[in-house]
Structure 1
Amino acid sequence: MTFLPAAPWVTLAVFLLPVLAGLAGAVLPAFGYLPALDGTDASLDPWRRLLDYPGFAGSLWMSLWTGFAATMISFALAIGFAAAWRGTRVFRSLQRLIAPLLSVPHAAVALGMLFLLAPSGWLLRAGSPWATGFVRPPDWATAPDPYGIVFILALVVKETPFLFLMTVAALNQVREREIVTTARTLGYGPATAWLKCVLPLVYPQLRLPVYAVLAFSLSVIDVALVLAPATNPPLGVLILRWFNDPDLGYQFVAAAGAVTQLAVVAAGIVVWWGVERLVGAMGRRWASAGDRAVLDRPVAVFSLAGTGVLWFLGAGSLLGMAVWSMARQWRFPDTLPSEWSLMNWMRRGETLIGLGGTTVTVGLISAGIALVLAVACLEHEKRDGLKPTARALWLLYIPLLVPQVAFLFGAQVLLVTAGIDGGWTALIWAHLLFVLPYVFLSLSDPFRSLDERYRTTALCLGLRPSAVFRRVTLPLLLRPILVAFAVGFAVSVSQYLPTVFAGGGRLETLTTEAVSLAGGGDRRLIGMLVFAQSVLPFVAFLLAAALPAWAFRNRAGLRGLT
């Protein structure tokens, strides 16, 4: 395969160069340079307008408060549950229950929680009027609320499963059972033993995923558009408003805001890194102090209760949207619709097919390209005996660490200049930027852990390397490859901001349409969009599990390996 040596460079060019060019395209207008809008001289006027904008300080504070709170809670729940319940039936059950939430788009969870926790939402309906006395929705600001609590909850519902599964993957790289058993024989409780002896070993592998969660939480826009307070939104929402303002002069302010968002994320990561060092020093002192089982019960109760609440919120949100999509009449305070109908689906079928067609097409193409590049890079790595470095991992995480709004504006300028803005090429490329890292991360561990003796045996039998790849490697890794493809497809389905910028309003997906209708009040249509948006990734993961089982139905050995 002559393409293999070039695969790593092509992969880097696909997502690294556009990110850097996009950042440059945002930094220059932030200092007044944008010839398309007569900005030909360097100026600090965009920064003065940014700092003078009413509500800027409040939006900055909202971003910091919600971003750090969501990351800390998600991390505490994921680590706490692994520490207290690892190796138990409860742990295995949660692992099966929480995995589907990972495939659900952020916007779908946010919209579901909006209608679950709103004053007229399903949760209040279930207790009315027999418990609350309400016969009509109360005048409460619950979703969204002025403090961003529900916004934080929505982020935690999505980010905890991600960190939990990253923790499980990291645990496979250490001798966890032996370490915990040794600590237990010295009188330590299970959670205390895990936190003192295992966490220091696995956290270095969790550092980049935690940074990615922090960067996302500090700069997320689609969830904020649905659940963050409108009068004091996070900074990303404010930047998007400036980008879309009819007054083109606000493009310079938006660029300054995008650079500020980048600085906020960078500062947030530095702060987290500093806290890591502080907590690490305190943890070493605590580990050597000899406390035995002080944390076991609190950690077990907190993690079990917290993850239970998150699963209830996530599952309840999606189930509520499914019910709304089939409701013909559902008045408050009825717990369930008084009349059911599929007319909503029939009447809106053409719209859903169009939006779903765009969503599926972009998802399949971007995930397919990402899979080809990831497989080519990993196969090249295997054939040449290359060892992945920490620098390569950091490069892979760049699109996940850099705020989307910080470089997509500059990237859009490049797309407009190239004349491909609002077309399929631009949209697929924009999705590929975020699909590729997830596909590579999903596939890298299974690919690298494949027993090298299979390849060596095939080569000794006279097969060429390309034949070994086709006839040995691909069959053995069929399930991980399909799962990685499903992950990439799910990531593509969830993309909001890249679709808005690259689609130019001419190409809409289920996600962009659902978010744009969030404030419209048509719960039936939103329910259909959210349900369709959630089902597509589920179908992809279902096929990823079913196809290998069918393909190897007569090959018990391959079924066990894949």
Structure 2
Amino acid sequence: MTMTNRALNALFWVAPALVILLLTGPLLAGLIGVAAPALGYFPTLGGVDLTLEHLHKAMHVPGFWHSVHLSIWIGLSTTIISFVIVIGFFAAFWDAPFFAKISRFVSPLMAVPHAAAAFGFAFLFAPSGWLVRLLSPWATGFDRPPDWLIINDPMGYALLAGLVLKEVPFLFLMSLSAASQVNVDQRLKLARSMGYGRVWAWMIVVMPALYRQIRLPIFAVIAFSSSVVDVALILGPNLPPSLPVQILRWMNDPDFGMRFVAAAGAIFQLGATLFALLIWWLLEWVCRYVMAQMQIKGARYQNDQFVRVFFNVAMLGMVTISAASLVILGIWSIAGYWRFPEALPRTMDLMRWVDNASNLWGPVFNAIKIGLAAALISLMQTLICLENETRHNIRLTQNALRLIYLPLIVPQIAFIFGISILLLRFGIDGSFWPVTIMHMVFVFPYMYLALEASFHNLDPRYMQTATALGKSQNRIFFQIKLPMLLKPILTALALGFAISVAQYLPTLLVGAGRVPTITTEAVALASGGDRRLIGIYALVQTLLPAIGFALALALPKLIYPNKIYFTKQREA
């Protein structure tokens, strides 16, 4: 065995442990870094004694408990609505041609960053938005924008709707991936042969197995929705804001003593997210009991036409609103004079693009540089971990899978704030590599999930033939597996790049404002009123991931024009 082979084999053995360290190390360090200031220990700012004063002070800030309530309600409501829409659509249209058509539209929506989707939603539904313009004055009678509080409403309904638009595509793709491992068609045939209706058959024979596969992604949706910052800054309420936004304001307060209060708020945010997860866990028990009672009755529920129509309209509505949001971003980016209630601007030109090209280059270059570095390193780690599983005939246990998802389940504001404090303490904040490493913490879990099924579903007969011909495992990996997996590898790489581009809070806090990306700059414009400039930045933010996915689709056909991807689907 050559020295190279020995080094590669050692790397395959060590890589999983390094990945777990990469995921849990920053998380634990961040939680410690936020817990210490919350309890009064922050020597840099003179805090050397442990105290509960800062927790007490945070609780008595006016509107604090309303902010906590908002975070819990938004997190749970977003998850429930998104989950019901996705599962209902799967149950109603799984084996229908309409399902494949919708899939082609839903999948690209995953590439749209949250901030860009939020801006598009605001431009569409604001009192002076495109929807009101299209209906005015002939249908509404308005010749000026109505005095309606739609965006930034006190209860967060706009924030809820904006998050649902993004979480539906995410849960759709997670469910689609999980369905390939559950043997859906055979389960449905068995249930339908017993007289069960289409929707009810899915719920009793597919849903239990599918839910086990997507449970952790659902927890990630709860954690993200309850602690989101960028979308809340754009669509959420202001007085009082949601808890993550309030924490960010305390962190940016000129009074450095408010850093202690911000740390205390981050502890409360962690508690709010855990409380939302606890409520979801209780809902699981309730739904399980109700489903069992309905099955005992033996009803077949064949008359489900109304249910199918409802979920058809719901999913079409999601896709239509998302597409219209992107269209209005493009229109505003080239709009000239546009008076309400005109449906379209009187003039359109590219002068704003030309004027802002020099300002765009720096943030765009930073986003590309950080995104490529985070995605490429995460891809290498993912492939090595998957190859290690195959070589030693092991699969990640549920506990290990929980570790992979841990950075997605713990609220970002609850530990990234602690990491920023630690980096500031050692003077290494605001540079390229700390920001990139933090992006990798969130990129790796998605890339692993995107590649896991494709890697393990490779037809093993190719590898067995290569082994019989005397090929080493390393040569099989590089010369057979990687070329066969080129398409899913590039797709996972594009997904990782899109996740990195969309990261707002890790870039803002770990970068200390000195590593601006197109996302941080776009969200910073939310407080301004220049819709043309916002449209430009949001559209550029959307184009970066879109270009990545376009390349992922085109490159395999260019590199291997006659290639056929052979995989063997293993029975669940």
Shorter-chain TM-score above 0.5: yes
Q: 1:557 aligns with which of 551, 554, 564?
A: 564
Q: For the Cα contact (< 8 Å) 1:148–1:228, is it kept in 2?
A: yes
Q: For the Cα contact (< 8 Å) 2:196–2:302, is it kept in 1?
A: no
Query: What does residue range 218-237 of structure 1 map to in structure 2 within 5 Å?
Result: 218-237=226-245
Query: What amino acid is the match of 2:282?
Result: G
Query: What does residue range 361-380 of structure 1 map to in structure 2 within 5 Å?
Result: 361-380=369-388
Q: 2:131 aligns with which of 102, 123, 141?
A: 123
1:229-288 deviation digits (Å, cap 9, x = unpaired)? 111221111111111111111111111111111111112112211211121121111122
**3-state SS of paired residue (2:506):** helix
Query: What does residue range 101-116 of structure 1 map to in structure 2 within 5 Å?
Result: 101-116=109-124
Query: What does residue range 418-437 of structure 1 map to in structure 2 within 5 Å?
Result: 418-437=426-445
Structure 1: unaligned runs, 5 residues or longer: none
Q: 1:392 aligns with which of 381, 397, 400?
A: 400
Q: For the Cα contact (< 8 Å) 2:458–2:567, is it kept in 1?
A: no
RMSD over aligned CA atoms reads 1.5
Number of the residue aligned with 1:99: 107
Distance 1:204 1:345 in 2: 47
Number of the residue aligned with 1:12: 20
Number of the residue aligned with 1:146: 154
Query: What amino acid is the match of 2:48?
Result: T
1:493 to 2:501 alignment: yes
Number of the residue aligned with 2:251: 243
- TM-superposed CA distance for 1:132, in Å, is 0.9
Number of the residue aligned with 1:286: 294
- TM-superposed CA distance for 1:503, in Å, is 1.2
Distance 2:158 2:201 in 1: 34
Number of the residue aligned with 1:522: 530
1:209 to 2:217 alignment: yes
Return 292-301 or 409-418, whichever deviates more: 292-301
- TM-superposed CA distance for 1:295, in Å, is 6.6
Number of the residue aligned with 2:85: 77
1:179 to 2:187 alignment: yes
1:327 to 2:335 alignment: yes
Q: 1:381 aligns with which of 389, 406, 428?
A: 389
Structure 2: unaligned runs, 5 residues or longer: 1-7
Number of the residue aligned with 2:5: none
Q: For the Cα contact (< 8 Å) 1:128–1:134, is it kept in 2?
A: yes
Q: 1:267 aligns with which of 259, 275, 280?
A: 275
- TM-superposed CA distance for 1:204, in Å, is 0.8
Query: What amino acid is the match of 1:557?
Result: I
Distance 2:161 2:185 in 1: 33
Number of the residue aligned with 2:556: 548
Query: What amino acid is the match of 2:191?
Result: A
TM-score, length-normalised on structure 1? 0.98
Distance 2:286 2:394 in 1: 35
Query: What amino acid is the match of 2:13?
Result: P
Return 490-499 or 435-444, whichever deviates more: 435-444
- TM-superposed CA distance for 1:161, in Å, is 1.1
Distance 1:552 1:499 in 2: 37
Distance 1:234 1:557 in 2: 50
- TM-superposed CA distance for 1:440, in Å, is 1.1
TM-score, length-normalised on structure 2? 0.96
Distance 2:38 2:492 in 1: 38
Q: For the Cα contact (< 8 Å) 2:42–2:48, is it kept in 1?
A: yes
Q: For the Cα contact (< 8 Å) 2:72–2:275, is it kept in 1?
A: no
Query: What amino acid is the match of 2:247?
Result: I
Q: For the Cα contact (< 8 Å) 1:23–1:407, is it kept in 2?
A: yes
Q: For the Cα contact (< 8 Å) 1:71–1:213, is it kept in 2?
A: yes
Q: 1:482 aligns with which of 478, 490, 493?
A: 490
Query: What does residue range 451-462 of structure 1 map to in structure 2 within 5 Å?
Result: 451-462=459-470
Distance 2:20 2:296 in 1: 44
Number of the residue aligned with 2:4: none
Distance 2:260 2:223 in 1: 23
Number of the residue aligned with 2:480: 472
Q: For the Cα contact (< 8 Å) 1:325–1:528, is it kept in 2?
A: yes
Distance 1:125 1:118 in 2: 10
- TM-superposed CA distance for 1:166, in Å, is 1.4
Number of the residue aligned with 2:421: 413
Distance 2:215 2:408 in 1: 13
Q: For the Cα contact (< 8 Å) 1:62–1:232, is it kept in 2?
A: no
- TM-superposed CA distance for 1:505, in Å, is 1.0
Query: What does residue range 56-71 of structure 1 map to in structure 2 within 5 Å?
Result: 56-71=64-79
Q: 2:510 aligns with which of 494, 502, 506?
A: 502
Number of the residue aligned with 2:95: 87
Distance 2:523 2:442 in 1: 19
Distance 2:567 2:21 in 1: 37
Distance 2:567 2:419 in 1: 45
1:87-115 deviation digits (Å, cap 9, x = unpaired)? 11111111111111111111110111111
Distance 2:101 2:143 in 1: 39
Number of the residue aligned with 2:539: 531
- TM-superposed CA distance for 1:417, in Å, is 2.8
**3-state SS of paired residue (2:336):** strand
Aligned residues: 561
- TM-superposed CA distance for 1:559, in Å, is 8.5
Distance 1:288 1:332 in 2: 59
Number of the residue aligned with 1:306: 314
Distance 2:564 2:204 in 1: 39
Q: For the Cα contact (< 8 Å) 2:247–2:265, is it kept in 1?
A: yes
Number of the residue aligned with 1:255: 263
Q: For the Cα contact (< 8 Å) 2:72–2:273, is it kept in 1?
A: no
Distance 1:102 1:296 in 2: 30
Return 67-76 or 286-295, whichever deviates more: 286-295
Identity %: 44
Distance 1:452 1:249 in 2: 60
Distance 2:565 2:223 in 1: 40
- TM-superposed CA distance for 1:453, in Å, is 1.9
